[in-house]
């Protein structure tokens, strides 16, 4: 019971008539820019998380070495 090809084409024609091709191009460009910035933010967040994990491991290593030196 999905959407057939003819129904999809009819909807596409209606959207083009209502908005025009220029506006659709602008919407597409804006959507592409938003997706690009979202991906960059996710990648940056993952890098920050990895960096924080590496710092935590380094800090734990320093604390254990200091404890063993005192004993």
Query: Quick check: 16 and 24 in contact, CB under 8 A?
Result: yes
Query: Is 69 a residue whose pLDDT tops 70?
Result: no
pLDDT range class, residue 36, cuts 50, 70, 90: very high
Q: Beta-carbon neighbour count of residue 42 at 10 Å?
A: 10
User: Which pair of structure tokens corresponds to residue 41?
Assistant: 């933010």
Residues 6+ apart with CB under 8 A from 16: 24
Average of per-residue pLDDT across 52-66: 66
User: Which pair of structure tokens corresponds to residue 49?
Assistant: 């998380």
pLDDT range class, residue 38, cuts 50, 70, 90: very high
Distance from the Cα of residue 1 to its chain's centroid: 32
**Separation between Cα atoms, residue 57 and residue 55, nearest integer Å:** 5
pTM, two decimal places: 0.52
Query: Residues 12-30: pLDDT tens digits?
Result: 999 989 988 888 889 889 9
Mean of the per-residue pLDDT values of the chain: 83
């Amino acid at each position: 019971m999905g959407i057939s090809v003819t129904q999809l084409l009819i909807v596409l024609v209606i959207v083009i008539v209502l908005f025009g091709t220029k506006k659709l191009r602008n919407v597409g460009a804006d959507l592409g820019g938003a997706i690009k910035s979202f991906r960059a933010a996710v990648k940056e967040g993952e890098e920050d998380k990895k960096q924080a994990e590496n710092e935590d491991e380094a800090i734990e290593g320093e604390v254990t070495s200091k404890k063993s030196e005192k004993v």
